[in-house]
C-alpha cells in the first residue's frame, strides 16, 4: 500500500549534489514542497478507500549523465533550457509524494548499481527478474540501458516510461514500419507502446501526457496581484540573446513600446546583449522565484516564436499576465523547420505555444500574426483595455499532476498479454442476434458502447468509448476533437473488428489486414475495409485523402484531458 508522504527531505538527499542542474531541481522541490503537501491531502481525501499499490520505481535521468555529454547542466545559470529540469523535478516529487519506493540515478554507474549489473562489465544481460516495477527515463537513458542490459532490455521494456518532451508517434516508433515507409529518425524505432512515451504537454493522445506543475496562488496572493498589476508593463519571453534575433522584431517592438514599458530576463555576462534594444529594461536571467515576482506585476508576457512549448507562458498566465504570441502560418513541423527536423512526430505546430492557444485561449492567450502591424497594434490596445484573472488549468496544478500520475501508475499496463478481442462467445451488439453484454446506442453517427456484464477491464474503461469515422483526409485526433472528445489509442483494439465498419454503415467490398498506421480505415475509392495488423501501429495521428479512419474517441475531464470521467 502506498502512503502519501509530504516530507521531501529524503527526496532532496536522494537527488544528490555536484551539478547546477541538480541544485536547480532541489531549489524547485523545496520551494514547491508546501503546495505538493496540500495537494496530497486533497487527493488523499478524494481517493478515500482506493487501494494504491506501492511500486518500486527507478528514475534514470539520461540527459544529465556525463556519458550523454550533459550539455544542460553548464547552461542552467546561462539562460539554457530549464523546462526539462522543471519537469524532472516535478516527476520526482510526484512519485515521492505518492509514496512509491523511489530510486534515482543520474549516472551510468548508479544505473548499473540499481539494476544489479556487475561493475566493469560492458553489456550484461540481467539474468534475474527486474528489481523495479517501473523505470522512468528519457531517450538518452534508453540508449544507455540498451548498451548495458543488452537483449534483456527487450524482455523488460514494458516497464519503461520515456519522458519525451515533444512526443513520438507510432509510425516513427515502429522499427520495421518506420524503415519501410520513411519514418526513421535519430530517436524513434524502439517498438514501445505509444503511451509509454510521456510528453510535456498533451501534444498527441498517442502518447501519455505527463506534464509538470505551475505554482498556484492563494486568495490573498490573487488579490495582491490584482491590486499591484502595472497595466503598461510587458515582459519578453526569451532568456537567451539568440531568441531576440527574430527578423522584423524592431517593427513590432516599436509598436509595443509606444504603449508599454518592456522588460526582459536575458542572460548576459558583462555587457548588455546587442540583440536586446536599449529601451528594454533587462534584468538578466532571474531565479524562478524572482521571475515570478516580475510576472505578477506585468500585464503582458510576449513570445517571439522561440522557445517552443515551454513552461514559462503557463507561469505567466497563472500570474495574471496575458500571453501574446505569434501564429505560425504555415505551421512549423519536422518537414519545414530546423528545430523539429528529425523529431519523431508529424505534428503541426500552429503557434509558439499551441497548448496555450488551444486549451486556454482568450482572454488569457492572444495569438496573432506578428507581421501584420495592424493586427499586432490592435492586440496591444485590446490588452491594455481588458482585465484578466490569474488562470491555471487543473492539470498543471500539483493536485492535477498527482491525480494523473496516480491514475497512470495504478492502471496503465503494457506488460500483461492483452485479452483477445472480440472475446469468444460474445455476440456483437449490432448483429442483434443474442443478448449481449454490450448495449449499442445509435446517436446519429456516434455510437456508444455500454458494457454491463463484461469481465474485461480495459483502462480507460469501455464505457468511455465512442466510435466515430473521420472524414477523408482527417486524422482521428481531429475527428474526435470535432465531436468534443479525445482520441484514445488504448481503445483501438475494440474497434479493430469488421463489425465496426457495418456499425458505421460502411459497406465493405473487401476486408484485409495490413500494417498501416491509418488502419482501421475505409478506403473510399475501392470500398475496401482495412484492419490493423500490428497493435503497436494503432495511432490517432495521421490522415490520408484515400481513407476515412475508424476512431476510438472518449470523453475527458474538464481541465484533466488525460483522464476520462470514469477513469479514476
Sites of contact with ligand UDP (CB under 6 A) = 81-83, 86, 239, 265, 285-288, 291, 307, 310-312, 315
**In the bound complex, what is the minimum distance in angstroms from residue 405's beta carbon to ligand UDP?**
19
Q: Which residue has the cell 469481465?
A: 455
d(CA 129, CA 215): 40
How far is 322 from 128, CA to CA, in rounded Å? 54
Residue closer to ligand UDP (CB basis): 287 or 442 = 287
Nearer to ligand UDP, 77 or 471 (CB): 77
Burial class (CB in 10 A: 0-12, 13-18, 19+), 363: middle
How far is Cα of residue 302 from the mean position of the Cα atoms in its chain? Answer: 23
90 versus 206: smaller Cβ distance to ligand UDP: 90
Report in angstroms how near the CB of residue 24 gets to ligand UDP at its nearest: 8
69 or 129: whose CB is closer to ligand UDP? 69
Least Å distance, CB 190 to ligand UDP, is 24
CA distances from 497 to 52, 412, 461, 508 (A): 34, 23, 18, 12
Element (H, E) at 15: helix 9-15
Compute the least distance from the CB of residue 277 to ligand UDP, in Å: 18
75 DSSP assignment = G
Nearer to ligand UDP, 264 or 460 (CB): 264
What is the nearest approach in angstroms of ligand UDP to the Cβ of residue 288? Answer: 4
CB-CB contact of 370 with 198 (8 Å): no
Whole-number Cα distances in Å, 94 to 107, 139, 526: 21, 21, 51
443 bridge partner residues: 446
Closer of 89 and 469 to ligand UDP (Cβ): 89
We find the least distance from the C-beta atom of residue 308 to ligand UDP, in angstroms, to be: 8
Q: Between residues 268 and 414, which has the closer beta carbon with respect to ligand UDP?
A: 268
Cβ(365)–Cβ(300) below 8 Å: no
CA distances, 185 to each of 172, 208, 309, 344 (Å): 7, 20, 21, 6
Decide whether 310 or 400 has the Cβ nearer to ligand UDP. 310
81, exposed or middle or buried, with CB in 10 Å at 0-12, 13-18, 19+?
Answer: middle
Nearer to ligand UDP, 288 or 454 (CB): 288
For 479-501, what is the HEC assignment?
HHHHCCCEECHHHHHHCCCHHHH
Residue 292, all three cell numbers:
515570478
Residue 197 and residue 164 in contact, taking contact as beta carbons nearer than 8 Å: yes
Contact 188, 178 (CB under 8 A): yes
- Residue 285 or 479 having the CB closest to ligand UDP: 285
Alpha carbons 13 and 23: distance in angstroms, whole number: 11
Q: How many residues would you count in the chain?
A: 568
- As measured in angstroms, the least distance from the Cβ of 63 to ligand UDP is 12
Find the shortest distance in angstroms from Cβ 453 to ligand UDP. 49
Q: How far is the CB of 42 from ligand UDP (least distance, A)?
A: 23
Report the nearest approach of ligand UDP to the CB of residue 303 (Å): 9
Amino acid at each position: 500500500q502506498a502512503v502519501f508522504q509530504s516530507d521531501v527531505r529524503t527526496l532532496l538527499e536522494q537527488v544528490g549534489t555536484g551539478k547546477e542542474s541538480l541544485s536547480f531541481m532541489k531549489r524547485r522541490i523545496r520551494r514547491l514542497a508546501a503546495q505538493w503537501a496540500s495537494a496530497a491531502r486533497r487527493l488523499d481525501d478524494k481517493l478515500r478507500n482506493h487501494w494504491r499499490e506501492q511500486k518500486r520505481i527507478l528514475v534514470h535521468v539520461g540527459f544529465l549523465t556525463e556519458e550523454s555529454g550533459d550539455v544542460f547542466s553548464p547552461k542552467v545559470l546561462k539562460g539554457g533550457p530549464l523546462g526539462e529540469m522543471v519537469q524532472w523535478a516535478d516527476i520526482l516529487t510526484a512519485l515521492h509524494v505518492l509514496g512509491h519506493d523511489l530510486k534515482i540515478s543520474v549516472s551510468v554507474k548508479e544505473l548499473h548499481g540499481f539494476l544489479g549489473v556487475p561493475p566493469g562489465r560492458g553489456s550484461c544481460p540481467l539474468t534475474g527478474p527486474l528489481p523495479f516495477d517501473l523505470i522512468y527515463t528519457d531517450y538518452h537513458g534508453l540508449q544507455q540501458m540498451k548498451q548495458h542490459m543488452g537483449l534483456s532490455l527487450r524482455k523488460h521494456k514494458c516497464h519503461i516510461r520515456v519522458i519525451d518532451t515533444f512526443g513520438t508517434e507510432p509510425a516513427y516508433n515502429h522499427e520495421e514500419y518506420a524503415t519501410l515507409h520513411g519514418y526513421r529518425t535519430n530517436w524513434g524505432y524502439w517498438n514501445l507502446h505509444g503511451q509509454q512515451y510521456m510528453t510535456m504537454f498533451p501534444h498527441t493522445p498517442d502518447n501519455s501526457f505527463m506534464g509538470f506543475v505551475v505554482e498556484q496562488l492563494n486568495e490573498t496572493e490573487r488579490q495582491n496581484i490584482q491590486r499591484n498589476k502595472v497595466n503598461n508593463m510587458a515582459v519578453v519571453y526569451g532568456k537567451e540573446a539568440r531568441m531576440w534575433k527574430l527578423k522584423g522584431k524592431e517593427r513590432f517592438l516599436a509598436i509595443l513600446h509606444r504603449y508599454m514599458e518592456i522588460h526582459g530576463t536575458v542572460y548576459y555576462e558583462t555587457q548588455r546583449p546587442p540583440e536586446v534594444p536599449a529601451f528594454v529594461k533587462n534584468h538578466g536571467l532571474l531565479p524562478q522565484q524572482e521571475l515570478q515576482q516580475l510576472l505578477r506585476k506585468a500585464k503582458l508576457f510576449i513570445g517571439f516564436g522561440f522557445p517552443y512549448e515551454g513552461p514559462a507562458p503557463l507561469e505567466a498566465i497563472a500570474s495574471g499576465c496575458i500571453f501574446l504570441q505569434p501564429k505560425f502560418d504555415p505551421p512549423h513541423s519536422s518537414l519545414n523547420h530546423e528545430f523539429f527536423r528529425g523529431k519523431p512526430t508529424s505534428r503541426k505546430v500552429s503557434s509558439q505555444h499551441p497548448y496555450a492557444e488551444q486549451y486556454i485561449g482568450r482572454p488569457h492567450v492572444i495569438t496573432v500574426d506578428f507581421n501584420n502591424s495592424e493586427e499586432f497594434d490592435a492586440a496591444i490596445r485590446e490588452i491594455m483595455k481588458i482585465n484578466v484573472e490569474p488562470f491555471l488549468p487543473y492539470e498543471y496544478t500539483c493536485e492535477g499532476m498527482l491525480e494523473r500520475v496516480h491514475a497512470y501508475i495504478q492502471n496503465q499496463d503494457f506488460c500483461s498479454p492483452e485479452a483477445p478481442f472480440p472475446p469468444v462467445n460474445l455476440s456483437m451488439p449490432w448483429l442483434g442476434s443474442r443478448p449481449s453484454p454490450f448495449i449499442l446506442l445509435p446517436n446519429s453517427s456516434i455510437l456508444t458502447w455500454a458494457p454491463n456484464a463484461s469481465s474485461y477491464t480495459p483502462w480507460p474503461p469501455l464505457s468511455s468509448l465512442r466510435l466515430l469515422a473521420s472524414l477523408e483526409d482527417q486524422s482521428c485526433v481531429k475527428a474526435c476533437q470535432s465531436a468534443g472528445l479525445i482520441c484514445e489509442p488504448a481503445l483501438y483494439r475494440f474497434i479493430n473488428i469488421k463489425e465496426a465498419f457495418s456499425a458505421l454503415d460502411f459497406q465493405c467490398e473487401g476486408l484485409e489486414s495490413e500494417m498501416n498506421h491509418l488502419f482501421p480505415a475505409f478506403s473510399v475509392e475501392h470500398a475496401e475495409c482495412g484492419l490493423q495488423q500490428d497493435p503497436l501501429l494503432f495511432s490517432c495521428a495521421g490522415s490520408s485523402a484515400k481513407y476515412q479512419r475508424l476512431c476510438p474517441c472518449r470523453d475527458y475531464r474538464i481541465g484533466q484531458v488525460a483522464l476520462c470521467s470514469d477513469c479514476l
